[in-house]
Amino acid sequence: MACGPESALEIPLEPGIQLTTSATLHLSLPLRSHESNSDPNHRHLLPDKPYDPNVPPIKQNPAKPLANGSSPIQKLADELLRDILDLIEADPDKGVNVDRRAYLSQESFRPPPVPSSTRAQDLGSWRRTCKRFSQIGAIHQFGKVTTRFSTREFERLRWLAKQPHLTRHVKKFSYMVPYFYVEVGRDGVAEALPPILPGNLDVQVFVGKVRDQKRIVSMKEDLVALKEGISAFTKLQHVQILPVQDMNDRTLISYIRQNNNLSDRIQLKWAPACFHSTKTVGEALIWSHSPCTRFSSPNVSPQSALNLAQPNSLANLATQLTCIELHFDDGFELELDPFMKHLSPLFKMVFEAAKKLEAVHVGFPAHRPLTLNLEDLFHNVKWDKLIAFGIQGWKLDADEIKSLAERHRYTLKGLRLRDVLLKDGSRWKDVLGFLRDNMTRLDWVSLRRIGYAVQFDEQWANTGAEIPDDPPGGYSSESEIEFDDEHDNYSDLDDHAGPSNESFGEDHRDSDMSSLHSHSTHAEEQSDDEDRVTGDQVELPQLSPDTPTSPWHGIPKSTVMDIETAEDLGDNGFFVPNTTRKLWERWVVGRCQRRR
């Protein structure tokens, strides 16, 4: 089972087996600040001998017994060993908390990265050193497990389910699902496509994919594996469903777009894949009585949500959830408003049942904002423990935002209003003034690409922009992961600087391999806003300047302090420049932080 670096699994580590110390572990620990000018080899020198530059450094295996039979590194506490191992593979227990601004991007909507081969080998060497190292390394290697929709992956998942000493460490499960092949009419893939596609790609590759997909679904291979795996993950906390495309799928999508007549014979669709994967994962969670409390998906298909309307099952699952993060995908051909209105009772049932919610995010494509009232989906529900709330891609009245914030004024620490446009008659200064004066615990506010519906509509009318029927989704090398600013919390005392944008440079999702991945423990310091999810990649021309390298560049502390009331915000009721919204974000939370 390749639920961690494969090199670490070539020799299964069973309880009760003492491993030999044949593998030499080389650890290169970073120097402390006071050691930065010291010789890098000083840590290998014996304390009773003077330093001689002509003598080569002494290489020691930290796990090798000394002459008296003792092993120095074995005397270290488990906590210290985990700190050392954290330099190789980030500790999965050090993830981003749900109340932090970086949580949505780092823990929910970002696909798990594949560790480098060097790190995989180091972790494998660590676990093969001895039984104690194996047990400590398993916490890092199996804290987060990723499985892809394929027969090989399901076999590995079922293997892992039979290893209780490993499954007890799994806290996060990521399910990577490819687009489903849909054969329209009587023609199959072999008849609809030429024998050789661009890039010298044999059509039999797709014939095999269609065959495997049909077999997995009809034989319920995925459901069986998911039930076994999820039931074995006794400490599971977080489940996420992510779309994925390999190079062959992207080649076929491009070929179909260039040959319009093929769309009537074969298609790659996310809607059926989303529906089937969500249905099977939901069944597995309910069947296994999983302790999972968080669910996230950056590409929810509206059709899937409608087909999943099973009140009793969903209500039972929702009662234990503390975190729900959904972003509806952009490949929906119909108008979103009437469709989401039809789903309103389902949202009401789920949100009323989910009384333990601490974090909620519901988003829509930025260029197709929803115009329904906020309460058409949230139904005036009040969550007693809510600390982070986010919406994206919505046209609203100011009073709608104020009303929801008012219900959670004593608990809310983070508020994300990304791509929210105010309708005619509403002003952002009224919303921000209310938040500043009434929210008692607010640590951060995200106002990325906020604006006004009038200006947005004029922009679309003037550009004549068209929405593609089915934009290619899935995380790929072309998928840009965008961040807002750098830091989670704002302070009137310090101005921070750092990178504000980040992107994936490699496509790690093409390989047919399940693997465990841990995010950097410094994720919060690198970015603080949510990723641009797949359904939000087709946008209007820039409505505001690009985000500068420094998030507070040009916004000194004195500028924020000079704003005494909301009337001083410079809100023109038509357009919100990027630098202005950054200033507004900082101003809103300033009083809350000083009050505390």
Q: Given the DSSP bridges, would you call strands 196-197 and 201-202 parallel, antiparallel or unpaired?
A: antiparallel
- What are phi and psi for residue 208, nearest 5 degrees? -65, -40
Answer yes or no: are the C-beta atoms of 234 and 289 closer than 8 Å: no
Global pTM reads 0.73
Coil/strand/helix, residue 348: helix
Q: Could you give the percent of the chain with pLDDT greater than 70?
A: 64
Of 554 and 207, the one with more pLDDT: 207
- What mean pLDDT comes out for the span 552-565? 62
- Rounded to whole angstroms, how far apart are CA atoms 174 and 238? 8
pLDDT at 301: 87
Name the pLDDT band for 489 (thresholds 50, 70, 90). Answer: very low
Eight-class DSSP state of 515: B
pLDDT digits (tens, 9 = 90+) for 36-53: 444 444 434 344 455 566
Q: Which two tokens stand for residue 470?
A: 């089915």
The alpha carbon of residue 256 and the mean position of all alpha carbons in its chain are separated, in whole angstroms, by 30
pLDDT digits (tens, 9 = 90+) for 151-192: 999 999 999 999 999 999 999 999 999 999 988 766 688 888
- Rounded to whole angstroms, how far apart are CA atoms 366 and 261? 30
Whether residue 404 is predicted with pLDDT greater than 50 in this model: the reply is yes
SS3 for 359-420, per residue? EEEEECCCCCCECCCCHHHHCCCCCCCCCEEEEEEEEECHHHHHHHHHHCCCCCCEEEEEEE
The CATH number assigned to the domain with range 117-595 reads 3.80.10.10
Eight-class DSSP state of 48: T
Q: How many residues does the chain have?
A: 596
- What mean pLDDT comes out for the span 577-591? 90
Q: Which two tokens stand for residue 343?
A: 């789903």
Name the pLDDT band for 390 (thresholds 50, 70, 90). Answer: very high
**Residue where the block lists tokens 């981003």:** 96
Name the pLDDT band for 497 (thresholds 50, 70, 90). Answer: very low
**Residue where the block lists tokens 């295996």:** 61
Of 101 and 105, the one with more pLDDT: 101
- Rounded to whole angstroms, how far apart are CA atoms 467 and 351? 31
Q: Given the DSSP bridges, would you call strands 266-269 and 180-183 parallel, antiparallel or unpaired?
A: antiparallel
pLDDT at 402: 98
Identify the CA nearest to 418 among candidates 369, 352, 381, 490.
369
- Rounded to whole angstroms, how far apart are CA atoms 383 and 542? 36
